[in-house]
Structure 1
Amino acid sequence: MSKPDKYVPKHRAPGKHKAARAPRRALRSGIALTGLAAAVTGVSISGGMLSSDPSLTPAAADVADTSTSTGDATMSAAELEQRAANAPVSRSSRRVRQAAEKVAALNVASGAAVTKSEKLSEGDPRDIARALLPEYGFSSDQFSCLDSLYVSESGWRVDADNPTSSAYGIPQALTQLHDLPADYMTSAESQIRWGLEYIQGSYGTPCSAWSFKSSHGWY
């Protein structure tokens, strides 16, 4: 009768079974490391670092950079007009608008001045005389003498009529003696223009005419 083999429990298998398990653990560790590397690579790609990865070839990096910059340029071009339209008003644009408003105001003022000049005949006779003095070479300080002269002659009334002679109007021109403008009888401007021309030719200045009138009672 042969000697029976030594009983070996199944749960205590020979060491070869343990050695078989080792590659499995190594395999699992390798899979875990591979997954970790893939995760890190994914983070790098999502962070926009694909073109700086040293494992990429120069051609691949160029493609990545080109596609990224092209996308940014396309987005900027598409949104440029809308951003410009919705952009807040800057100080420079406010200054430009204020400058434009000032120019418009000046234009309005100039227009008003032109309108006043065109309607000079409708103004106060004294204002008309002040405005016309420079046209005949008289300075503004001559107005006081002209005012005294015409106050004494007609009181600046367009329809002032001298019952003892043909003198009429602000300067009291003798209608029977002088060749007067067609609208002399009704226009203050026409009367003052005639009077200033007469003073210029006969006395030189309104102050000289007033001095003569003060001495002789007429001019």
Structure 2
Amino acid sequence: MPRHRQSLQLTRLKKAGIRSAAMLTLLTGVSGGLYLADNKADQEAASAEALFAEQELTEASVNGWSQHNVLERKVKAEQEAAIAAAAAAEEARKKAASTTSRKSRPGVTVKIPASCNEYSGNRAIGCALLLEAGFTLSDMANCLEPLWTKESGWNHTSSNGGSGAYGIPQALPGSKMAAYGDDWKTNPATQVKWGLSYIKSRYGTPCNAWATFQSKGWY
């Protein structure tokens, strides 16, 4: 074969080899690129899964904390309700005991001594209790008898519609006499007992109370 033809064929073979090498390089690059792209996608998917798992863990922690907080508040509310109920029950017990005590307070009873025989009815009761309180028959005749005659006529149901005063001593208000008995509205002895106590604590004697009434129109 002529030499120039051999050279031409060799050149063609070289070019073909170069093309093949270039093609192989290109294919290798594409394959590597595809591998890198696939690997990047796998990494991104793994990162997304890890982030999702972390979010789920965070949500679970938050939900767990919320449930614990709700339970804690529920327990606290139940405790406060129990304390309030106990306080209310104690208050009701005290009121009931106070009511029972008031209801069980007996009225005043009195025995009329012979020295008071000159009086009758409510005045006889007044005389007996006056002596029992340490005063004298003179205090009764000269002071207490005229004082309460002016105030109520010794009528144990006497009521002053204007002021609200009630009973033989005209207590204002009449409910003050409940200190000596729940029957203060109907028992003259209970009223007299309270009236004498009031006179003694404020004026010392029935005569001082009578003197005040005479000068002021009240005592």
Instruction: Give the TM-score of the pair, scaled to structure 1.
Output: 0.43
Question: Which structure dedicates a bigger proportion of its chain to helix?
Answer: 2
Which structure's relative contact order is higher, taking Cα pairs within 8 Å and 6+ residues apart? 2
Instruction: Give the TM-score of the pair, scaled to structure 2.
Output: 0.43
